[in-house]
Amino acid sequence: MRWLALLGLGVAFPAAAVEGLSGAVTGVALWGPEYKGAAKSGFALRPGLLIRYRRVTLSSGAGFAARREDADRRGLGIDLKHSEELDVSLGLRVDNGRNESTSPALAGMGDVKRTLRLRIGADWRFAPGWQLAANWTVDAFNRGGGSVLDARIQYEWQVTPRIALTPSASVAVGGPRYMKTWFGVDEEQSARSGYPVYDPGMGLRELSFALGARAELGEHWVLIGGPGFTRLLGPAGRSPIVQRRSSWSAHAGVGYRF
């Protein structure tokens, strides 16, 4: 039986020996705004784990290292339909919310509660290299998270048999509850923070562009990286807590498949 030592910490993972079972461990470095709309940016390191057994996937953000390109989803998911052209899935993932301590600009705004989000999504590969994806998520515990609808279109350019570039564009729309929780300011928050009262209502949240690079280093290892640009739109962009509507981000990571 093969073993993988993770980051030199002596943690071992057995290779998949069960038919239909696969997985990956990853590490990703991230750079981006402290929160959506923040003027300041920072770095973070995020480990990830992916376990897939037939139609069921459990992922903490390690899906980029999977052999199947459609596995890059967070949380617990199940395939309702899988074919060469179309995937439909149902999932449940943790939404960590937002802590007031994340940024001085959020002082007085209080925390956005952690919750679970129910997701239904579809991926349509309508032409060679092209993919259109859409997801709808809702706060499963009704803790203020509301609902979000997002759509993404991307094209995978296979530069070499082992290197691929993937430009993409995505748009997200937030429901009234979501927008109020994440971008609104009620009277109590206004009194504590000094921001004016603001009730955003349902509307566009953001438009994003990204360029992803992926390099296969053999059967097990994979490297990823790339920049991203996000522009907050509509009610989200007009929120008093938004200091900067446009922001850049970047990520780089390594994954090991087993």
Q: What is the pLDDT along the chain (258 residues), one digit of tens a residue?
A: 333 333 333 344 444 457 789 889 999 999 999 999 999 999 999 999 999 898 999 988 766 666 555 456 778 999 999 999 999 999 999 999 999 999 999 999 999 999 999 999 999 999 999 999 999 999 999 999 999 999 999 999 999 999 999 999 999 999 999 999 999 999 999 999 999 999 999 999 999 999 999 999 988 999 999 999 999 999 999 999 999 999 999 999 999 988
Cα gap 199→194, rounded to integer Å:
15
CA distance linking residue 172 with residue 175, whole number of Å: 10
Using a 10 angstrom Cβ sphere, with 0-12 exposed, 13-18 middle and 19 or more buried, the burial of residue 101 is: exposed
CA dist 155 and 133 (Å) reads 12
Q: What is the pLDDT of residue 17?
A: 58
What residues does each domain of the chain span? Answer: 3-257
C-beta neighbour count of 59 within 10 angstroms: 26
Distance separating alpha carbons of residues 48 and 248, to the nearest angstrom? 23
> Hey, which CATH number is domain 3-257, 2.40.160.40, 3.90.420.10, 2.60.120.10, 3.40.50.10320?
2.40.160.40
> Given this model, what pLDDT does residue 215 score?
96
Residue 87's CB is within 10 A of a number of other CB atoms, namely 22
Cβ(243)–Cβ(195) below 8 Å: no
H or E element, residue 117: strand 115-127
Query: What's the whole-model pTM score?
Result: 0.87
The CA–CA distances, whole Å, from 98 to 139, 141, 172, 238 equal 14, 16, 18, 19
Residue with tokens 């992803």: 212
Q: How many CB atoms lie within 10 A of CB 200?
A: 22
Q: What are phi and psi of 102, to 5 degrees?
A: -60, -35
